[in-house]
Chains A and B, each alone.
Chain A
Amino acid sequence: MAIFDAHTLFGFWPQRHADISPETLVNTLKAHQIDRALTLSTQGIFADFALGNSETIELCSRSNGLLLPIGTVDPRRFMGTTEEIKKRFEQGVRAWRLCPELQGWDLDSAAAEAVLRALAEAGAVLMIDASAPGAASRVAARTEEFGLTTLLLGIAAGQLGELLALLDRAKHCLVETRRLADPEVIKALGVRFGFERLIFGTASPLQYVSPARLAVETAGLPEAQRDLVMGGNLIKLLAGGR
């Protein structure tokens, strides 16, 4: 089984003391026998998105295929965001992370709307935090009008009711399994909405790998479905398919 982690990062984490250097990222992936990972420089979240995207692409280019880039832009600055999306997409960046929860901007702002439209027009996959109550519904509503394929990050088992009500109509949304925590919840979501809508991610090396991994591996899924969640879905998604 090849494992593809949809959610890693590297750089400097200002909100607590943590070692998320590129070396730690690579060592963590290797220690957990993760074959490939999408990654993002935190420079792009907390300082300068263009510089961060350059760092991400540079690290990925020398990773011997271990790492693939996640791009990001910051709607607070707005200037240059749509150009950055176009430029980086031409360089092969398919997955894009927006961070309103860390940057403090509103998904309903005109700047956010322009960014979401640009991402949709480029054919990007959006990754965005939906861990707060109601956030998944709001993100889904905001991205639906653009038909933007969206991976909801950080959803916990306690939000299951919201997901059950949402995922039937929000066909463009997928769910990261990292904080679902309960193998039975992962299995139930897969059975109800299709295992192609579940994506394995860890947020390592900022977070532990095993809590996320054990939840999928002990869900009792047939091998084919488990392989989809642990990487197959992401490969297809980045290739432009669902």
Chain B
Amino acid sequence: MAVIDIHSYLGAPPESVRTGTLKELSGIWRLAKINGALVASGRGASGDFRRGNEAVQREIDGRANVWGLCTVNPNYPGESADELRARLSGTLFRGLKVPRATAGPRIDSPGMRAILSAARRYGRPVLLETTCETDVRDAVSLAAEFHALRFILLGMGGPDWPSSIGIAEPQLNISLEIGSLEADADKVKDALDAVGPRRIMFGSHFPLLHPLYVLGMVEDSAIEPRDQERLLARNAVEAFELEPIAALPGTREGDGSASE
């Protein structure tokens, strides 16, 4: 069964002991049998997002089955809009990502609204890191206002997932991504039952988590194979308009090498 990882980091975040190189990621994708991946900058999540995006673009250009996520920072709405213009005008980057670490005390902020206004012209999915129920409520409010955009809630509220999935359910332009440290039994099945099989996706968050950790949750959740196929790949392919080819992710297009 094909697997698309919608969120991992290129360039490890500061708290990780991993290197986060494309070579390391390629090894992990091979181990976990992942067919395609969207990557965001690890350093850009807590530091300079522009440098982070630049590094991602440099690393993934010409690589098979790897696409970028443009990191933005609501404290820098103008610069974020510039980044959207630079990255999302082409096809290398397929979405924008708002890290929780730099989103401020509330996700629903003037800076965020300015970024979302700018994002409307590109029509790419917006990935919001959500670590609590309040984040999810804010995301629902934003998604109602910016109804032409698709929002994907990374981590689906973290430890507050039981209430968060119900809060997200009525907002049809919101999808849920299941990866978080919370490996609570029933989480995947409950989320799928709440929002349906077309609004749920898989992300590894490597190296903060590991693909096998999140895939283990899917394995234990005993969901229907057709729903599993949607969760693991099809929904991502549709939302990000991906065209995966028969090659390991991260290999240089044409020669199969993942080395620098």
Contacts and interface: CB of A to CB of B under 8 A. Distances in A.
B28 to A, nearest CB: 9
A6 to B, nearest CB: 16
A212 B183 contact: yes
Nearest to B212: A214
A62 interface: no
B216 A214 contact: yes
Interface in A184-211: 184-185, 188, 204-211
A185 B220 CA distance: 23
Contacts of B213: 181-182, 211, 214-215
Given A156-B181, A208-B187, 7 more contacts: A161-B15, A183-B210, A188-B17, A208-B221, A211-B212, A212-B183, A214-B213
Interface residues on A, range: 20 to 34
A172 interface: no
Interface string A144-163: 00000000000011101100
23 contacts: A16-B162, A18-B184, A18-B186, A156-B181, A158-B16, A160-B17, A161-B17, A181-B209, A181-B213, A188-B17, A206-B184, A206-B185, A208-B183, A208-B187, A208-B217, A210-B216, A211-B213, A211-B216, A212-B183, A213-B216, A215-B212, A215-B213, A215-B216
Interface residues on B, range: 20 to 34
Contact of B185 (A160, A161, A179, A207): A207
Contacts of A181: 181, 209-210, 213
Nearest to B15: A158
B208 interface: yes
Given A16-B162, A182-B210, A214-B212, A207 B17 contact: no
A241 B212 CA distance: 33
A218 interface: yes
Contacts of B219: 210, 214
Interface in B1-52: 15-18, 31
Nearest to A24: B185
Contacts of A169: none
Contacts of A156: 181
A77 interface: no
A22 to B, nearest CB: 15
Contacts of A185: 17
Q: Which of B18, B31, B209, B213 has the most CB of A within 10 A?
A: B213
Interface in B119-173: 162
A107 to B, nearest CB: 21
Contacts of B209: 157, 181-182
Contacts of B221: 208
Nearest to A15: B162
Interface in B179-224: 181, 183-187, 207-210, 212-217, 219-221
A184 B18 contact: yes
Contacts of B18: 182, 184
B185 A205 contact: yes
Contacts of A18: 184-186
A210 B217 contact: yes
Contacts of B181: 156, 179, 181
B164 to A, nearest CB: 11
Contact of B184 (A184, A208, A209, A210): A208
A211 to B, nearest CB: 4
B17 A208 contact: no
B212 A208 contact: no
Question: Which 9 A/B pairs are nearest by Cβ-Cβ distance?
Answer: A210-B216, A211-B216, A208-B220, A181-B213, A182-B210, A211-B183, A214-B212, A211-B213, A16-B162
Contacts of B184: 16, 18, 206-208
Contact of B162 (A17, A158, A178): A17
Interface in B209-241: 209-210, 212-217, 219-221
Given A16-B162, A210-B219, A218 B212 contact: yes
A47 to B, nearest CB: 22
Contacts of A178: 183
